[in-house]
Chains A and B, each alone.
Chain A
Amino acid sequence: MSPSVPLQEMIRAIRSARTQCEERGVIQRECATIRAQFRQADNEGRSHNLAKLLYVHMLGYPAHFGQMECVRMIASPRYSEKRVGYLGAMMLLDEKQDASLLITNSIKNDLANSNQYVQSLALCTLACMGSAEMCRDLAPEINRLLRASNSYIKKKAALCAVHIVRKVQDLGELFAPSARCLLTEKNHGVLHGAVVLITELCECNPESLERFRKTVPDLVQIMKGLVISGYSPDHDVAGISDPFLQVRILRLLRILGHNNEAASDAMNDLLAQVATNTDSTKTVGNAVLYETVLTVLDIKSESGLRVLAVNILGRFLLNNDRNIRLVVSQNILTSAATTQKQRISLCIQLYFSFPIPPSRALELSLALVSASNIRSMMKELLSFLSSCPPELRSQTASGIFIAAERYAPSQRWHIDTILHVLTTAGGDVRDETVPNLIQLITNTSELHCYTVHKLYRALHNDISQQPLVQVACWCIGEYGDLLLRGECQEMEPVQVTEDDVLDVLEAVLQSHMSSPSTRGFALTATMKLSTRITENVDRIRSIVSIYGSCIDVELQQRAVEYNALFKKYDHMRAAVLERMPVIEKNSQGHTNGDSTGETIKENLAVKVKQAEPQQAANQVCDLLDLLGGSEPPLQSSPALGSTAPLPVGTAGTAGGDLLDLLGGLEPTAIMPVSVYDKDGVTVTLSCEKQSDSGLSITLTASNSTDSDIRGFTLQAAVPKSVQLHMKAPSGDSLPARGAAKVTQMVVLNNPNKVVNLKMRLRISYTSQGSAVQDTVQVDSFPGLGH
């Protein structure tokens, strides 16, 4: 076994190793030696061995086998061994290790030792790695030491107390009185420790905060002493007397003065003095000034002081040292205390003095936008959008949209801004922008002409930005007639022919840059134009039929449906494709976003799937017979009758369709009236006037018997001149004892204003195996007035 090498030799050996591999070899050999010697319990070189081990640990190699040795050395009576033992404990042990419990007793004994250096070792170690149990055990000891006569010990005890309070907050109460006394010390080390302790106590316990407010005068006194006093060689750092203590005291004053008038008043003078007297040519002075400014802005200071603080911030921004500028710029946004005007002036200085990162600039600009400066700020933001790095584009775009929505001075400005964003950064905007924009455009009816012209021009220039293309297609489809009319008050007239428009739409359809949803928009727009233009309907028909065999299933389905509209349902085409109603502004939760763009498709889906009218027609025929009007009812005319009100009522029921599709909102009943009550089955009726001649009725059925009812159906008949449309019921079975209800909506259209509107209801169901059928006549409708 090689003799133990002195520490310096080992260090030299390690440093002379040229490669990592060599170094590892040297260290492994040394570690093996050390391990062997630990086992030997050799008395002489123990501290050296441990020191070597600690050095190895510092370089990053595993050294956990030294833990027990640390424990043993701490217990040793010799100071040199204790010292290295405690150092090892601080470096190798932490509260997760079991060995740390073993040193609790040693620490306790050493705290009571007469030698102050031994005491300080124990205090340091406890402050470094004391676990919660150890702290609880030893807290009274520490408290006693806080009142010791030796300031060296007091300093260390204060730091230990800070650690204890951080670990076990309940023990804070124990230290509060002693902490107060420590403030009268002259020794800066003790003062510093005391201030940190008080800060810690105040932060974790609001009652302590109250109690320590009384110390504000003392703190002010200490601070004044530091600021005014002359040169003190012990504490001088670049001309400032103990700046670290000053910063600490300022921070404590900030905590104590926050939200408290009395405390803030007491500090006003001091803060003004510090702000004016501190030398700001060196970083040290600036550090103290910065802390002062933060304090002034955070407490309830008077306005003169605030102005002073903001001026200092402004001066910082013009400072040559970029560190200071960075620190201040980070703080301007977050400091809620500065007013808007002050913020703006600071930001302007920032802009001119310092190249700040673009993301910071964006955040600042967005935070500064307000109703009064929206126009100028928006110009800046839009130019930023065109020049900003690509990763910031979408953030900028959404910021612009939010700002525009909140502060838009006029509709036209709003639309212009959004169009500008779409043309500049169209690819980076988020998906919800398209439906939001469409909603906005629909709602500003007076600007339709202007909007569609602008969009057409934008589309003409560039069909690659998908959101822009989608919005433009939608608008051209909706307001194509306005576009073709050519005149528009707000823009120079440009003659646009139908061929031009169709060319553009076809280009979008065929372009490889268009996404599938964009193509859908374009196809629907083309279809809508068929009612708005006069000459090129054939061209539209051919376009639509081509896509009937498109690979994309979505497009194919649309094309087929539109084809059907041309062929079989040509009479309905005009009605189906007419202008959209004004959309209600919905919250984000709804899927309205999707349906606004697709509403035409939904309407078509409801109508093209005309399976229902066939059944309804049959039933209506029967009931019409019942009512006594015997005329040869054509299959088609009731069908027509039942669907004819649809186009007129599209405006009203389109909303209803939407609502149904979105989750079945029932119209609120005025007063439900019971129209049928027999054998435990009740049917109530409530109605709501939709328009002058339209009425929507909700029939609700429930079952109060003990057995379930299946196959529950309702049929209705009305006088000849009234048109009836029954929507699908919510279900056809009624569970027993009213567990659930069945509802069905019926829409009546009374264009001839037939007085004495009556309705006959036939109710059929199966209960306990037997079929039941019953008829009832409804003579009066609640809410109608007759």
Chain B
Amino acid sequence: MIKFVLMVNRQGQTRLSRYYHPVELSRRAALEADVVRCCLSRKKDQCSFVEYKDFKLVYRQYAALYIVVGITDSENELSIYELVHNFVEVLDKYFSRVVSLNRVKNSWIQCQGVCRSLKHLK
């Protein structure tokens, strides 16, 4: 099960966050900062799957944007990895270029709508 999806930039600022499990607002910032620190500090030749507390993180880097998905233990990490790529391809097709700046400039409400589609794989 997917627990959350985050899009973070190189500086660690959250550009998009979507939680599929109730997490209090106050704890979200701390969680995001922690997760992002974990992923940003990894080298290029390390795996995309990280064990973090009691769930797993799958992350992928696209230029200056990191997409991090938190999943439970029972989920197939490889399929989530592919899902992230699929998601980015969809955004790419819809918004013509996946760059942090552009995505935000255009109607990001549509982007939220695409996020809702991720519930399919909840």
Contact = CB atoms under 8 A, between A and B. Distances in A.
Interface of A: 8, 11-12, 15, 51, 55, 58-60, 62, 83-84, 87, 90, 94-96, 124, 127-128, 159, 162, 189, 192-193, 196, 237-238, 243-244, 247, 251, 283-284, 286-288, 290-291, 294, 322-324, 326-327
Contacts of A62: 25
A196 B79 contact: no
Nearest to A284: B82
A94 B122 contact: no
Interface in B30-83: 45-49, 76-79, 81-83
27 contacts: A15-B104, A58-B16, A59-B14, A83-B109, A87-B109, A90-B116, A124-B119, A128-B119, A189-B120, A237-B82, A237-B86, A243-B82, A247-B76, A251-B76, A283-B82, A286-B78, A287-B76, A290-B78, A291-B76, A291-B79, A322-B45, A322-B46, A323-B49, A323-B78, A323-B81, A324-B78, A327-B49
A327 B82 contact: no
Given A247-B76, A322-B46, 9 more contacts: A51-B109, A83-B109, A159-B120, A238-B82, A244-B79, A244-B83, A291-B76, A322-B45, A326-B49
B79 A247 contact: yes
Contacts of B45: 322
B105 interface: yes
A324 B47 CA distance: 9
Contacts of A8: 105
B105 A11 contact: yes
A287 B14 contact: no
A207 to B, nearest CB: 22
Nearest to A11: B104
A189 B48 CA distance: 28
Nearest first, the 8 A-B pairs at minimum CB distance are A287-B78, A287-B79, A247-B79, A326-B47, A284-B82, A323-B47, A94-B22, A291-B76
Contacts of B28: 60
Nearest to A47: B109
A127 B22 contact: no
Interface string B14-33: 11110000100100110000
B91 to A, nearest CB: 15
Nearest to A250: B76
Nearest to A324: B78
B79 A124 contact: no
Contacts of B22: 94-96
B94 interface: no
Contacts of B109: 51, 83-84, 87
A326 B28 CA distance: 29
Contacts of A251: 76
Contact of A162 (B86, B112, B122): B122
Nearest to A160: B119
A586 to B, nearest CB: 38
